[in-house]
Amino acid sequence: MRVHGQHLRTVTLEGSVVVLIDQTLLPHQLAFCRCATPADTARAIRDMTVRGAGAIGATGALGVAQAALLAPDSGYFDQLRADAAVLRATRPTAQNLFAGVDTVLHAALAETTPDRSRAAAVAAAQAFADDDAACCAAIGAHGAPLIGERARVSTHCNAGWLAFVDWGSALSPIYAAARAGRRPFVWVDETRPRGQGASLTAWELAQEGVEHAIIADNATGHYMARGEIDLVIVGADRIAANGDVANKIGTYSSAVVAARHGIPFYVAAPTTTIDPATPTGADIPIEERSADELLWTQGVDADGVWRRVRTTPAGATGRNPAFDVTPASLIAGIITERGIVPATAAGIASVARRGPSAGPPA
């Protein structure tokens, strides 16, 4: 996608260094984080320097390739497994992370010598990243017909190109429709507590010249009730075998209100997000993050200085689930790179991938 007219990807591998757009600094500063070791790469995933299902998955894949490049010949395969396990353990919900790590590790362990394994790991990691970008472009092509002239689209969190290698999932159909001249308008939920909608989605849409407005998360129902939202498209962090979807906290609320007002609610995700081994949404592990994300706010003040301020009473406590589950019954369809399928067991099975993403190698 374009940033000041320049094409960028969210994550790349330069030699043995994993290079990421530092999402913690956006929208105020575009900067890159250079991860020199697998431990650095794991830290970047864990502290949300990189965020978004596809971007996390590609970072995990490139992190395994990095581990292969840096592991010594002596004890190579044991070190590779250990580094991959650290990467895999960074976040519990996003299925793409496990798909990326496991895909590259399978390729690397299929070889019998360190040199051949390193080459296989790098090739598999690059192919995984390229596949993510290609899938998201295809999601845009399949989803764009849903967006009519001047359609008013609601989304939640960031599921744009920053959340993937390129194009994104939920925003990809919007970008495709905009480039086709349909002039969509996007309601951007701020997405408390980390504000990925307000900081990342709004920044992306501005780069692409797509008209939008940032609103408080709890204003979405207001605009639905007033007839000012035509459809909803959100991303996903994991899709269960029955069509239930885990996504950023607040997605379920949006889906419930959309159903109340007869507004179609779509989920956009590449098939790497599908986990056939997870039967239903109730089986998806939900990450709970530090309550500090609720109790404190950070940003740039009027003088351009980064500050972190407490916005809650001293001594207050909080609970901070990062995701919720939207049941399949509330979803009009799932937009994948293979087309739009119903959020049913049969629909999911028709597009679900099989292979390494089902679990780590022994």
Enzyme catalytic residues: 237
Peptide bond before 38: cis, by omega within 30 degrees of 0? no
Find out whether 251 and 331 touch, Cβ atoms under 8 Å. Answer: no
Which uninterrupted H or E stretch holds 291?
none
Residue type, 337: E
SS3 78: helix
- Closest to 292 in 3D by CA, of 71, 49, 47: 47
Which uninterrupted H or E stretch holds 177?
helix 172-179
> How far, in Å, CA of 336 to CA of 139, rounded?
5
- Per-residue exposure over 90-126, b if at least 16 CB sit within 10 Å of its own CB, e if not: bbbbbbbbbbbbbbbbbbbbebeebeebbbbbbebbb
CA angle 125, 126, 128 (to 5 degrees): 65
Task: Look at strands 245-248 and 323-326 and give their pairing.
Answer: antiparallel
Residue position matching structure tokens 């960074």: 90
Residue type, 336: T
Residue type, 346: A
